[in-house]
Amino acid sequence: MARKNRTPEENARREKIRELLQMANIGSMDDIQSLFKEAISEFMENGLEAELDDELGYSRYDYKNKDTDNSRNGHSSKTLRTSFGDVEVSVPRDRKGEFEPRVLKKNQTSISQDIEEKILSMYAKGMTTSDIEAHIQDIYGVEVSDTTVSRITDKILPIAKEWQQRPLEAIYAVVFLDAIHYHVRSEGQIVKKAVYIAIGIDLDGKKDVLGMWVGENESAKFWATVLNSLKNRGVEDIFIACTDNLTGFSAAIEAVFPKTEVQNCIIHQLRNSSKYVSYKDIKALMADLKAVYAAVDETAARDALGTFSEHWDKKYPKISQSWRDNWPNLSTYFKYPQEVRRLIYTTNTIEGFNRQLRKVTKAKSVFPTDDSLLKMLYLAMIDITKKWTGRRQDWSMIHAQLAVFFVDRMPE
């Protein structure tokens, strides 16, 4: 094979490398590794000294140009992990402790840490492995493989599992419960799995994802497992649970939290009601149903359901029957003032969260394992919930109303 033709610049650089290797008495790969470690240390220390010069406005021996009451204050030693082994770096300090290095951040312990953080951030936003590889190559000039991306993102798994087991508040005003479905490879087959999600609003009005559990297709039995998990992590009481109308869901809640009131999602009920309605009837039918769920109180709602039944039972007899069958859990919100009603009559809070998860995971049609699904959802959840700051603006009014309805369960 013909030797590659090098540019004059490459030849000059090669000559300097040969001189360096000869001067450093390099005779083995271990010697080369030690040389690389020294080069990394020198590069870092020079960069840190230059940054401190810039921070203070004068170089180490240039006292004449000093225009600050801050000054150098010696060095501290830091061990930096690299692919060549541990490297000792001497980090300059300033007397006031204001120096924030950029080339080697204060909490940085690995030379690859910044790249790993970028990979995790891109993974959390749903980028494919090939996209991540291309972006890292463009930004850093570093090649990363599928295996590397998996190894880095796998570091999240123990953190995600620790998060899943963290202690929770003793009382939640409202907990929203819903499931989202994904395809996962299992024992050589692709199976549909449910991710069970619980979002709670505590007594301070703050919203939090309480947990995400990967299980078989959605069932009341697994929901009972989820609810027992919440109880084992310290939840003693939930005032109101907002759910879809899955068969057996209410019984599962009652078995674990017997005092909890259940509100089935009105939007889910409306979707089920309109599923088989003719297009030409849908507008009028939905207007008649609105008279039911938007009624001023439960009595008016029952009257409106009777009127709906008279109008539509001949054509769509199952709709009014479904509302009557589910009425105990559909009508819970009528006893509360408008502010509480708006909070609990739909599961929009959790459905909005699920929509954001779907955006992140849409590039993945099948997940190779339950753990790969969990780590992506966890990273996405962290990214989504960064925007969840503070509490609802109307929380003071809601809290006052809940204090009336749950006076014997509200903490002092």
pLDDT tops 50 at residue 399 = yes
| N residues, the chain | 412
Distance CA 367, CA 370 (A): 7
pLDDT tops 90 at residue 323 = yes
Tens digit of each residue's pLDDT (9 = 90 or more) over 168-200: 999 999 999 999 999 999 888 999 999 999 999
pLDDT tops 50 at residue 1 = no
pLDDT band at 340 (very low <50, low <70, confident <90, very high): very high
- Residue 4: the pLDDT is 61
What percent of the chain shows pLDDT beyond 90?
43
Closest CA to 152 of 187, 98, 110, 184: 110
Mean pLDDT value across residues 300-329: 95
pTM of the model: 0.70
Q: Are 84 and 36 in contact (CB under 8 A)?
A: yes
pLDDT band at 46 (very low <50, low <70, confident <90, very high): confident
pLDDT band at 298 (very low <50, low <70, confident <90, very high): very high
Tens digit of each residue's pLDDT (9 = 90 or more) over 120-157: 777 777 777 777 877 777 665 556 777 777 777 788 88
Mean pLDDT value across residues 96-123: 73
- Residue 124: the pLDDT is 75
Distance CA 238, CA 199 (A): 12
- Residue 286: the pLDDT is 95
Tens digit of each residue's pLDDT (9 = 90 or more) over 19-31: 877 887 887 877 7
Distance CA 412, CA 393 (A): 23
pLDDT tops 80 at residue 316 = yes
Torsion of CA 355, 195, 370, 364, to 10 degrees: -20
- Residue 65: the pLDDT is 60
- Residue 146: the pLDDT is 74
Torsion of CA 354, 357, 363, 367, to 10 degrees: -90
pLDDT tops 70 at residue 64 = no
| Tokens 């962290």 sit on residue | 382
Mean pLDDT value across residues 317-339: 94
Question: Which stretch of 106-110, 174-178, 202-206, 256-260 has the lowest confidence by average pLDDT?
Answer: 106-110
Tens digit of each residue's pLDDT (9 = 90 or more) over 359-372: 888 878 888 889 88
